[in-house]
Amino acid sequence: MQQVKKGDTVKVHYKGTLTTDGSIFDSSEGREPLEFRVGDGMVIFGFDNGVLEMKIGDKKVVDIPFMEGYGPLNDQMIIEFPLDQFPPDLGEPSIGMMLHLSDPEGNQLPVTITEIKEGTFVLDGNHPLAGKDLTFEIELVEIIG
């Protein structure tokens, strides 16, 4: 039976949980399986490697350390701004609010308000799963070739 190798396009069902507490952060349940080409960097490194050598119908659990997932937290991606610079058309800032900053080239950077202090607010541009170890339950549905 055919096994997944680098360069194959595959379809998988998955459930992603935080290794520390088991809380689910993503799942393909109720959706079409995830399709990607193995080795092309379309998914995080640990997930990409996790499907190698699987056969259709195989199920496995893959533990992915943060360095093979979304990387470490980068303190340079955490920025504090004065509250008077918060755009008035967005209402009141609140923790968890998602915003977009533009860099000098016009690229959009998604950020999240993580803290509101006296006269300032803190934005975090790290991926929400940065610095977190992840666990995926993976089921190989199809190898397209």
pTM as predicted = 0.82
Q: What pLDDT is stored for residue 104 in this prediction? A: 85
Q: What is the pLDDT of residues 10-23, one digit of tens each?
A: 999 999 999 999 99
* CA 120 vs CA 64, 66, 71, 93: distances in Å: 36, 30, 28, 10
What distances in angstroms separate CA 52 from CA 72, 126, 140, one per listed residue? Answer: 24, 28, 10
Instruction: Give the model's pLDDT for residue 93.
Output: 92
Q: Are 134 and 46 in contact (CB under 8 A)?
A: yes
What's the pLDDT tens digit per position in 38-60?
999 999 999 999 999 999 999 99
Residues of the chain with pLDDT under 70: none
At residue 1, the pLDDT reads 78
Which domains are present in the chain? 9-71+129-143 (3.10.50.40), 75-124 (2.40.10.330)
State the pLDDT at residue 87: 87
Question: What pLDDT does 33 receive?
Answer: 97
Q: Which residue has the tokens 């990607």?
A: 36
